Amino acid sequence: MNTPTLFPELAPKPPPAAKRLSFDLELASVFDLQPGQDLWAHAPFDLAVVAIATDRDEVRHWYEIGADGKPARCLSKSHARDVLAFLRDAQRSGVQVCAWNGVSFDARALGETAGDYALAAEVALDMIDPMFQFFQQRGFLIGLAKVAEGLGLPQKKLMLGADAPKEWARGNHQGVLDYVAGDCRLTNAVIARIEERRVVRWRTAKGTVSEEPMPRFLSARELLRLPPPDTSWMKERPLKRERFYEWMIPHAKFEVARS
């Protein structure tokens, strides 16, 4: 499947009829993540491409073009800031901006590349991040693919996420463009299904399907006003909620409820 690519200077803003968009990015930095290792141990990152897809299935990509007319290795600082400005403008116009794990990763990575953590924090705080909301309710993480499977949504993974930087470096640019756009579309589909059914279902490691009520979506700003999740039942050391938002503390003012 060939996904149309629109460049920042040519692409229109989300159409007025679009109520939602999801965004995702792929790294240009190539490294092997060890089991249990924090991804941010490999920062700072170079970004290869950022994509959005609206609920009307309009797709837009941001990436650099080299002197040879082909996609360049990594996204520039100015284009990373263009993405953040685009997302913030969309939020201000009433479009629901979404990303799976976008609060702790995608917005932060864009802020790092753009050199504008303040704008990235604004986007993150008003974002809908269903994974963060699930963590807020249950205290652990779930992946997009497992939720799509639990909700009965068809999905076709064109590659593994960890392979995208390697494929980009090999010159398989269209494959990566299709892959990142596909994840944006899948995020939109998952969010729409959760919104319809008011519940998250996911395929567990045991192969069973579990579910968690999610009557409505809350922004990250709203979630942080709630007490942290109860993790007293966990045998292993639980994740701390701070991992999602601590990067924003020097750059934005927001309320965080304590236990």
Tell me the DSSP string of 197-236. Answer: HTEEEEE-TTS-EEEEE--S--BHHHHHTSPPP--TT-SS
Region 12-16: mean pLDDT is 61
Domains of the chain with bracketed CATH: 20-28+41-138+154-188+221-248 (3.30.420)
pLDDT surpasses 90 at 157: no
pLDDT surpasses 90 at 177: yes
- Decide which of 183 and 38 is more confident: 183
Both tokens assigned to 225: 């006003």
pLDDT surpasses 80 at 34: no
Confidence band for 36, pLDDT divided at 50, 70 and 90: confident
pLDDT at residue number 3:
41
Q: How many CB atoms are closer than 10 A to CB 236?
A: 7
- How do beta strands 20-27 and 199-203 pair? unpaired
pLDDT at residue number 64:
96
- At 129 the three-state DSSP class reads coil
pLDDT at residue number 116:
98
- How do beta strands 209-213 and 199-203 pair? antiparallel
pLDDT at residue number 16:
64
| Single-letter code of the amino acid located at 152 | G
Confidence band for 9, pLDDT divided at 50, 70 and 90: very low
pLDDT at residue number 2:
39
Beta-strand (E) ranges in the chain? 20-27, 47-54, 59-62, 96-98, 199-203, 209-213
Question: CB-based contacts of 38: which residues, under 8 Å, 6+ apart?
Answer: none
pLDDT surpasses 70 at 1: no
Confidence band for 7, pLDDT divided at 50, 70 and 90: very low
pLDDT digits (tens, 9 = 90+) for 70-117: 999 999 999 999 999 999 999 999 999 999 999 999 999 999 999 999
- How do beta strands 59-62 and 47-54 pair? antiparallel
Confidence band for 189, pLDDT divided at 50, 70 and 90: very high
pLDDT at residue number 159:
83
